[in-house]
A and B are shown apart, each in its own frame.
Chain A
Amino acid sequence: MAKGKVTINEVICKGCGLCVSVCPKKVLDLSTTKINAAGYNPAEMVSDDCIACTSCAKMCPDCAITVEKLD
């Protein structure tokens, strides 16, 4: 399966958790250490199992996610 990588824009992320809830590989979680200027815990990658399916990005209401396919 293709390997992928997501980049979260931590400035605009609102920590809503929608991306976390739809990731089929449980790659994402809300940060327990970071907090952004708006007071939200941004989403972050917690494993290397991303398959670049884009499900998380499709659900993000704030367009905070960029997905790349790694070759």
Chain B
Amino acid sequence: MAVVFEKTKALTDVKLHYCPGCAHGIVHRLVAECLEEMDEVKNAIACVPVGCAVFANNYFNFDAIQCAHGRAPATATGIKRVHPDKMVLTYQGDGDLASIGTCEIVHAAARGEKVTTIFINNGIYGMTGGQMAPTTLPGMKATTAKAGRDPKINGNPLRVSEMLATLTGPAYIERVSVSTPAQVTQAKKAIKKALEIQKQGLGFTFVEVVSTCPTNWGLTPVKAMEFVRDKMIPYYPLGVFKDITAEEGK
């Protein structure tokens, strides 16, 4: 008898406060598994957001700091410049990163800060009860867009990975999802690659995860995963948007 899957030691035993089936938990595990496999758990510092993931520091079995809303990339910049040998990451939602923190993420990416950002795009402000985010899809309902987002009034959703990929500073940008086991495997590969590029000091690394908020979407966890595949991914296509290691190999 051999154990082929068990909980990573890079997560604590604290019970996650997330709603049933919320994909935040899956991504927490992937980040932790990658750091464990790279033997970087003792060397990692996570900059956690304001949003549902505000207590991520209780779950990560490595150092973490709760940052002001949207400012995790600025906090990470300071930490990494003082401690260049640490693995520094930010973990941010779409309200945090693509709304109040747009300035910080764009300029950290433009400066090529040697940190890794994990961007949880669930198309909504989860923690505060389902307000429209910059990433809410056209037609998608939110408490602040009762009839669904109307691009004529509310503008069109931001595709952050594509936007950041136009900059020179980023070394690696990939968008993944976790709506199937195969996608989870790919998401882990992307996070591992981003962390490895950080370790090599090559530049800013960014992994966007098309995620879920079953509670505020008003869907069961299983239906929320279907919504990701049917509605989110067509607007937010998965794939690599920048990889300087691949460009070098050409």
- Residues of A whose CB lies within 8 Å of any CB of B are 4-5, 12, 14-18, 21-22, 40, 52, 54-55, 57-63, 65-71
Residue of A nearest to B22 (CB): A61
List 25 A-B pairs, Cβ < 8 Å. A4-B4, A14-B20, A14-B21, A15-B20, A17-B21, A17-B221, A21-B222, A21-B225, A22-B181, A54-B4, A54-B5, A58-B5, A58-B26, A58-B184, A59-B180, A59-B181, A61-B18, A61-B25, A61-B29, A62-B25, A63-B8, A67-B4, A68-B1, A69-B2, A70-B1
CB neighbours (8 Å) of A66 from chain B are 3, 5-7
Residue of A nearest to B179 (CB): A59
Say yes or no for B24: interface residue by CB 8 A criterion. Answer: yes
CB neighbours (8 Å) of A21 from chain B are 222, 225
Residue of A nearest to B180 (CB): A22
Listed from nearest, the 9 A-B pairs whose CB atoms lie closest are A61-B25, A16-B21, A14-B20, A16-B20, A67-B5, A55-B181, A63-B7, A57-B5, A16-B221
CB neighbours (8 Å) of A58 from chain B are 5, 26, 181, 184-185
Least Cβ–Cβ distance between A59 and chain B, in angstroms: 6
CB neighbours (8 Å) of B3 from chain A are 66-68
Residue of A nearest to B15 (CB): A12
CB neighbours (8 Å) of B180 from chain A are 22, 59
Q: How far is the CA of A61 from the CA of B28 in the complex (A)?
A: 8
Say yes or no for B127: interface residue by CB 8 A criterion. Answer: no
Query: Interface code B99-116, partner A: CB below 8 Å = 1, 0 otherwise?
Result: 000000000000000000
User: In the complex the two chains form, is B21's CB within 8 Å of A18's CB?
Assistant: yes
Residue of A nearest to B221 (CB): A16
Quick one: which of A5, A12, A59, A65 contacts B26, CB cutoff 8 A? A59
